[in-house]
Structure 1
Amino acid sequence: MDVRTAELKEPITVAEYLFRRLHEVGVRSVHGLPGDYNLVALDYLTNSGLRWVGNCNELNAGYAADGYARVKGIAAIVTTFGVGELSTLNAIAGAYSEYVPVVHIVGYPSTVSQRNGMLLHHTLGNGDYTVFSTMSRPISCAVSLLNDPMDAASLIDHAISQCYLHSRPVYISLPTDIVEKKIEGARLKKSLDLEYPPNEGEKEDYVVAVVLKYLREATNPVILVDACAIRHRALKETHELIKTSGLPTFVTPMGKGAVDETLPNYGGVYAGSGSNAGVRKAVESSDLVLTIGSIKSDFNTAGFTYRISDLNSVDLHSSFVRVRYSEYPGVRMNGVLHKVALHLGQLKVKAGPVPNNTIPDAESKSSDPTITQAWFWPRLGQWLCENDVVITETGTANFGIWETRFPKGVTAISQVLWGSIGYATGACQGAALAAKEVGINRTILFTGDGSFQLTAQEVSTMLKLRLNPIIFIICNKGYTIERYIHGWDAGYNDVQEWDYKGIPAVFGAAKGQAQTYVVKSKEDVEKLFTDKDFSAPMSDKLRFVELHIPRDDAPEALKSTAEAAAKRNAE
């Protein structure tokens, strides 16, 4: 017997320690696929209070873990060495790009095999067992290689803490001969420290004073909320400021869902030239724009068409605050936002635009029965319910949802920055599972026919898990956003037309488990949205809708963004 093991007060296997730490931070379901290097580890999931999902492929599993994390706050995925982990890297890169905390656990060959450089399957045949972890390092905020049980617990704790605090993926290797090694389980009695360290008091107070000075001097200040307010868990403080100040408040496309859109001072989506009606003027004429967690990517700014001067900006982030051209590193936005709201006093407030879900006159008065993008997205806003989870795919759905004013508590999921088509269907599986775990009734997906074809298999996983999302497949004959960028009639932007309504049956839906619909006119949409069975929050059925929209139709914001992308590509 190992003397070190004999001295343990509460021996526990490395695998169980890892899974119990995941349970501690809120994970209840683990995505991934089995492989011979992770099989023994998977035996320890159930006893740790975790559920195994089992996806159709590793890429889908990565997308699903991303969607799960956006609802639950953190997620985990298990793959096998080489072939499995590489298949999920696109999804992990997307999670890194968009600040989504995913713990990626990779089953490794034994430490003996690694030391001896054995010619094993799933390797490159060159004896290098570090090559794949090296690939993951640039898209992970921590890499923990569990090659020695003596430091396994500390490496696990470090990785999970970093994942949560930095809101980015981490990578944990779990060799086959380490899985059942015994380590000290008494450590589990002390919870992980997941609190953000407070700002240095004097420094924070100085920054607060500077921000307050410019806010009080401004004649028409506004607030602009972006994705990192969500990712870095600053929504409580953000809402304190929005409600206390009464300032006109806008969101970016990536920030959609960050703000309670029922608040009277919510003004809509700002995205440069792609902004909602009246928003661009309100934001760009402001003499002080207070941005919270901004990510100024091309699609988030409708092709870099922001017109906000640094001289009129206060930018608050997770690791710094910038006031005009002065930057204050090491000052986290949470504390600053709280104190600014606390000491704000009366500000000069000008009323901003008030978005609604009114269908434009040209659409409402038209006798044309064809479903258009301009008609559909405001009409959707009239149908959505409080606390829905709404997932939109890169393309027409991502841009169309800008025109939808949400009810209270809606969680919006999209991948505006990474923009990997097919993401949304995989993310829907993870989000629907997470929503079920926390008691949210409706998860709703909008994805294009082209995007859906990349990850359609995850409908199978949804059926296996008895999930009940509402899935809209926008049938418009291919890749619309690509058509607007280049190749309007090119064959490479076409897709094979599927019998989409037949998908649930193909994937084994039991009798009565799924309901399918074909919607081709505005009247069909009206009938669908007023169908109580279809809209029921407590339905036990997966609802699957073919939504037919003309090939050449797209939201105006998509058109302008695509035009800007085409110009950049030609430079």
Structure 2
Amino acid sequence: MKRTVGDFLLDRLSQIGVKDILGVPGDYNLQLLIQAERRKDIRFVGTRNELNGGYAADGYSRVNGISALLTTYGVGDLSAINAIAGAYAEYVPIVCITGAPPLNSMYRRRFLHHTTAEGNFEDVMNCYRPFTVAQARIAPQNAVEEIDRVLRACVRKKRPVYLQIPSDITFFEIDVCNEKLSLCQQTSDARQLGAVLERIEEKLAKAKNPSALLGMALDRFGLSDSTQAMIENFNIPFATLSAAQCVLDGDHPQWIGGYSGRSSSDQVKAAIEESDCLFGLNVKFTDSNSSYFTQKIPEDMIDIRPFRTIIGHEVFEGVSAVELLEALSKITPPKKYQNIPAKIAKTENNWVSKGSEKLIQDRFWKRVEKFIKPNDVVVTEAGTSMRGVKILDMPSGITIISQPLWLSIGYSLPALFGSSLAQPNRRQVIFIGDGSFQLTAQEVSSFFEHDLKPIIFLINNRGYTIERAIMGFHSAYNDIPNWNYKQLFEAFSDGKPFFARQVVTEDDFESVLQDAEKASDQLCLIEVMFDPLDIPKAVQSSANMVASFNYGPRGLKELDKNVDD
């Protein structure tokens, strides 16, 4: 049957679960936007700039499973590329679509606007190659094959892809088959699957202290449920790297805590480092999740990755993690393991306001722990906010959105817009510092435009406190101008009501939280005023590790930095 190039692309996006295309209009993509406007199954949602659009697409994808970003050639693409690199690093599938110059002009190497006027139309594509798993420039003769190939790669590999759609071809009709895009995952080679199962059963039969360590993107690869089923079948303890916080419920009885090398609790270190049969689920150690490479992992860890498993020096290619985990969840354990450590009794969180006493970070996070509700979406920014959320005891059903690897400041506010757009019926809460907020603040207007009502905790400590802790407690480069945030929200609100309060004391905080609970029909801004040098002990300890690693002994001496402070 006949279909236009643009409609075929939009059909495919709708089929894979994209309901909203985020981004910014530009003269090379307006024709595709006209086609999108005519549809009921998919819509375009504008963001205030392309970088914010990329961050929003990231947040949208983390709760929806996939997203799409539309930019215009050159200036739009390159504005968004930081966000796309972050999505690539953290396994977030985004379909990046750019409206490119007319196909005939690219063939003739014309000097066009939004280019370097050298006739080079490969430069932007080359910028995207390292941060996407598939790329294509669409022409009428390749549209069906290339669009399907690129979208399959996005769905299967859980990373961004990049499509250039020349502005003069979207209304061209092409022949398409009347079938939905096949997204079937490659199944395992039966003999390889059998071999790795046999090897694992051998290890389990000899083991006394098996355990599991959860890593990156298990939810996005569809491995959360089967991972939990395996852990429960074997009745073994499990720990999580920072990227896996709340991928399984934080109140699961077999969860023993977070693992981060030498910074882990003794109980977690013993369970993971002394395990004689450790299951690693898509584990990737980085500086920030291992306390700077201080992990001590058994060399024969069962390293389960999405499409291969490695045990010591043995590599089992062609093994689907989905099928392997499902099989492991059904086999009869060779013995009953008794190595789940007794949980340290939690001290009841009986936070009570200390009246007019100034609120400090440690007390703030303790009260926040009681504020979080089951099934909330919790978005955190790089810095003190991410570290504050990391230590909270979370209820069931929580989704945490953060960038523990890429750590791009300013990410969280547009990501919150994307996640709120994708799941508007869930309560969404963000913790963001003033320094990060000032990078992407204009996206606040999008919440009002689309009647989204998140709760925004703005940590106002007048600068980059996490960087003060690393180096330069009193340095001017860590200072930022103080904004009147309530007035800023008023400017963005277009007259729509919102809840805004400023917190200084503990009584302020308790009163504001109670009032915010009653204001669920409005966007809430809670500005919390902290001293710039109010740095929790765990944050300072982490910052000291950063300084030691980044600057070395000579750098610390030259800068008069004592990491034992």
TM-score, length of structure 1 as denominator length: 0.91
Partner of 1:410: 398
Q: Structure 2 counterpart of 1:88, which letter? A: A
- The structure-2 alpha-carbon separation of the partners of 1:343 and 1:317, relative to structure 1 and needing over 3 Å to count, comes to same
Cα distance in structure 2, aligned partners of 1:74 and 1:474: 30
What is the one-letter code of the residue matched to 1:567?
S
- Secondary structure class of the residue paired with 1:481: helix
What is the match of residue 500 of structure 1?
Answer: 485
CA distance in 1: counterparts of 2:381 and 2:51, whole angstroms:
16
Q: 2:47 corresponds to which residue?
A: 55
Give 1:357 shift: 7.0
Structure 1 residues without counterparts, runs of 5 or longer: 1-8
Counterparts of 1:486 and 1:28, CA distance in 2: 44
3-state DSSP class of the match of 1:507? Answer: helix
Query: 1:450 and 2:435 equivalent?
Result: yes
Identify which of 427, 439, 445 aligns with 1:460.
445
Task: Please show how residues 191-340 of structure 1 align to structure 2 within 5 Å.
Answer: 191-275=180-264, 278-311=267-300, 313-340=301-328
Aligned pair partner of 1:80 in 64, 68, 72: 72
Q: Aligned-pair distance for 1:51?
A: 1.7
The AA in structure 1 aligned to 2:423 is: A
Q: Which residue of 2 aligns with 1:124?
A: 116
**What residue number does 1:526 align with?**
510
Q: Output the CA distance in 2 between the equivalents of 1:15 and 1:226.
A: 38
Question: CA shift at 1:176, angstroms?
Answer: 1.0
- SS of 2:310's partner is strand
Point out the more displaced range, 351-360 or 203-212.
351-360
> Which range moved further: 426-435 or 318-327?
318-327
Distance in 2 between the 1:178 and 1:352 partners? 63
Deviation at 1:96, TM superposition (A): 0.6
The answer to whether 1:430 aligns with 2:422 is no
Whole-Å separation in 1 of the counterparts to 2:536 and 2:265? 11
2:473 is equivalent to residue 488 of structure 1? yes
- Alpha carbons of structure 1 residues 419 and 327: separation in structure 2 relative to 1, 3 Å: same
Question: In 2, distance between residues paired with 1:231 and 1:130?
Answer: 31
Residue type of the alignment partner of 2:163: I
Residue 330 of structure 2 aligns with an amino acid whose one-letter code is L
Instruction: Tell me which residue corresponds to 1:15.
Output: 6
Deviation for aligned residue 1:118: 1.3
Distance in 2 (alpha carbons) for counterparts of 1:367 and 1:522: 6
User: SS at 1:53's partner residue?
Assistant: strand
Structure 1 position 547 matched with structure 2 position 535: no
Tell me the amino acid that sits aligned with residue 139 of structure 1: F
Where does residue 5 of structure 1 map in the other structure? Answer: none
- 1:558 maps to 539
Choose which of 495, 517, 525 in structure 2 pairs with 1:510.
495
For 2:548, the equivalent position in structure 1 comes to 567
Query: d(CA) in 1 for partners of 2:256 and 2:112?
Result: 59
Q: Does the 8 Å CA contact 1:221/1:349 hold for their aligned counterparts?
A: no
AA in 2 matched with 1:269: G
The offset of 1:201, in angstroms, is 1.0
Superposed CA offset, 1:27-81 (max 9, x none): 1111100110001110111333212111111000000000000010000010001
Q: Distance in 2 between matches of 1:355 and 1:64?
A: 39
**Partner deviation per Cα, 1:470-521 (whole Å, 9 max, x = no partner):** 1111111211221222222111111111112222202134242x11121223
Give, in whole Å, the separation in 1 of the partners of 2:410 and 2:506: 27
In 2 relative to 1, CA 559–287 (structure 1 residues): closer, same or farther, beyond 3 Å?
farther
* 1:116 Cα offset (Å): 1.5
Does the alignment pair 1:474 with 2:459? yes
Contact residue 282 and residue 353 of structure 1 kept, 8 A: no
Call closer, same or farther: CA 1:120–1:250 in 2, change over 3 Å: same
Matched, 1:71 2:89: no
Task: Report the more deviating stretch, 210-219 or 384-393.
Answer: 210-219
In 2, the alpha carbon distance for the partners of 1:397 and 1:353 equals 30
What does the per-residue CA deviation read over 1:423-482, in whole Å, with 9 as the maximum and x for residues that have no partner? 00110110110112xxx4211111111011100111011111111111111111211221
CA distance in 2 between counterparts of 1:355 and 1:368 reads 33
Q: Secondary structure at the match of 2:171?
A: coil
2:292/2:549 contact within 8 Å kept: no
> Which stretch of the first structure deviates more once superposed, 211-220 or 60-69?
211-220
Query: Which deviates further from its counterpart, 365-374 or 446-455?
Result: 365-374
- Residues 412 and 282 of structure 1, relative CA distance in 2, 3 Å threshold: same
Q: Is the Cα–Cα contact under 8 Å of residues 357 and 381 in structure 1 kept in the other structure?
A: no
- Given residue 406 of structure 1, which amino acid in structure 2 is its aligned partner? M
Q: Which moved more, 1:402-411 or 1:166-175?
A: 402-411
Q: Which residue does the alignment assign to 1:25?
A: 16
CA distance, structure 2, for counterparts of residue 524 and residue 462 of structure 1: 26
Gap change, CA 1:215 and 1:133, over 3 Å in 2: same
CA–CA separation in structure 2 for the residues paired with 1:480 and 1:198: 48
Asked whether the equivalents of residues 209 and 271 of structure 2 are also in contact (C-alpha less than 8 Å), the reply is no
Matched, 1:342 2:326: no
Counterpart check, 1:107 vs 2:104 = no
Identity %: 35
Q: Closer, same or farther in 2 for the Cα pair 1:517/1:167, shift >3 Å?
A: same
Task: Give the conservation status (yes or no) of the 8 Å contact 1:212–1:344.
Answer: no
Which amino acid counterpart does residue 65 of structure 1 have in structure 2?
A
On the 8 A contact 1:76/1:102 being kept in 2, the answer is yes
Counterpart CA distance in 1 for 2:109 and 2:55 is 33
CA contact (8 A) 1:276 1:402 kept: no
Equivalent residues, number: 550
State which of 146, 149, 154 in structure 1 corresponds to 2:140: 149
> What amino acid is aligned across from residue 151 of structure 1 in structure 2?
N
Aligned CA distance change for structure 1 residues 113 and 353 (closer, same or farther; 3 Å)? farther
* Rounded Cα–Cα distance in structure 2 between residues aligned with 1:365 and 1:334: 48
Structure-2 change in CA distance of 1:67 and 1:204 (3 Å): same
RMSD: 2.2
Change (3 A) 1:47 1:242: farther
- CA-to-partner distance for each residue in 1:80-112, whole Å, 9 max, x for gaps? 010111000000000111110000000011011
- CA shift, 1:556, in A, is 4.0
The Cα of 1:344 is off from its aligned counterpart by 3.9
Q: Which runs of 5+ in 2 are unaligned?
A: 553-565
